[in-house]
Structures are given as C-alpha cells and as structure tokens.
Amino acid sequence: MAGRVEGKVAFITGAARGQGRSHAIRLAEEGADIVAVDICHDYDPVHYGLATPDDLALTVKAVEETGRRIVAVEADVRDADALRAAADRGVAELGRLDIVCANAGICTAFPWNEVPGQVWQDIIDTNLTGVWNTMVAGATHLVAGGGGSIICTGSTASLKGLPFLAPYVAAKHGIVGIARSMANELGTKNVRVNVVVPAGVDTPMNERLDDLHRLVDENPELGAIYTNALDIRYLDPGDVSDTVLFLASDEAKYITGLVLTIDGGNTIR
C-alpha cells in the first residue's frame, strides 16, 4: 500500500532534533525522501544548547531505517543563499521538491524591559526571516514542479500575547501574516501554504526554558495564559507531525491559508 506522501520530497529546517526530526521520520514513513537542514551549532544569547552534527546524523539514520533517501545539510536559516543552495542540492540529488516545512526556531524568555538587543534580533532573524528564507528557497522548486505544500511551524504565540516572550511572539505572529500572503500569491501556481499552531511540545527547547518557568512562577497571575483546556501539559512531537503529514498530503489539496491549532484548547482561553 502506497504511503500518503509516496514519491514526494520534503525540505525540512530544524531537522536535527525535536519537531523537525519527528516530521522527517513521519514523512519518510509515508513514502517521502527528505532534505534535512539544521544549523548544528549554538547561538551565544540563547540559554540552551542547539542541535549538533551528531543530532543531525541521528535524523539521517532514522530516515534511512525507513528505507527512504535523505540529504542532510548544515545551514543557517538566517542565510538565504545557504538555504537556496541546500534546496538546490536536495533537488539535484533527489530529483524534485514537493513539501517545505519551515520549522527551525529558537526561544528564550525575558521580562519586556530586560530583552537584550541581540536576543530580539536573533529570534526575529531565525523565527521570522528564517521562515521567509525557507519558503522562498523552497517555493521556487515547488512552482517549477507544478505545485506543492508549504507548512510553517507557528505556536500558540502566533495567536496569543504570551508574557515574557515578546520577540518570540512577534516572530510567530509574523509567520501567520507571511503565510497568508504567500498562500494568495502562490495559489495560482498550485502551491498551498498553511501554519500549524501547537501548544508546548515536549522537545529539548521546552525542556530547557528554565527562565520562563521561573518567571511564570514569580507572576502567578499570568500563569493561566499558558494552560490548556485539555488536561495535557506538552504535546508529543509526533502529534504535530501527524498534522504536518495531513497538510503535506493530497488529503489537504484544497486547504491553504489555514492556521491549524493543535493546542489542547490553549488558544480558546
């Protein structure tokens, strides 16, 4: 029985671990070959370690174990030229491109009056400009191939004013805007653009946001903003990957410009 994305190729940023690795494996299990991109080194202002080359190698191993092909590239989503080169390499080696997952992101927490300028810039450059760079690098190939699906990783911070995360909230709100704009521009080219909006996901990033947990504990009147309607604290990355798979597949062939919440009811509060 053919997989739901059989014969397609997916370009995924932030693929070395967390949601990105999960998306790569899930799409590969359903028949896609993968172009996996990650920066694989730390940012100085971010208070936790980012993925490593060893992490990216584990993604490669996991995808290959499904029987699918994978091209792994170390590249920074802030570098538009590097992303275009990664997409071009993936298409040259795998023959086509059908799915783009603009997933790479970073997060760190500060009160509004303590946000370092470099933190603001790094988060906007990675989480917003990096998504834009990914979309542009991939869309050229999707248009050339007759269509495809772009899926951006948003957050409840795309729809809510989460406290202590001002740069992150700004970037994630911005993703919704550029996705809707691109959905209109690319619709005539048979390219769909959607945003997935998960609540907190059980990934290394969330595990290490100690500063956010401390700030919420110190400001209990704001803590309820982070609670979900359903009795769940964190999603599993695979829960998000199932939604990415749906949006990547032909089952969603008429869905574009959608902001799809997978948030345990967080954004209805």
List active site positions.
168
Contact 203/21 with Cβ under 8 angstroms? no
Rg from Cα positions in the chain: 17
Whose CA is closest to 63, among 21, 2, 115?
21
Contact 10/33 with Cβ under 8 angstroms? yes
Which pairing describes strands 191-198 and 70-74: parallel, antiparallel, or unpaired? unpaired
Whose CA is closest to 233, among 262, 255, 200, 204?
200
Q: State CA 227 to chain mean position distance.
A: 22
Whose CA is closest to 99, among 28, 165, 175, 201?
28
Contact 201/235 with Cβ under 8 angstroms? yes
DSSP states of 157-212 as a string? GGTS--TT-HHHHHHHHHHHHHHHHHHHHHHTTTEEEEEEEES-BSSHHHHT-HHH
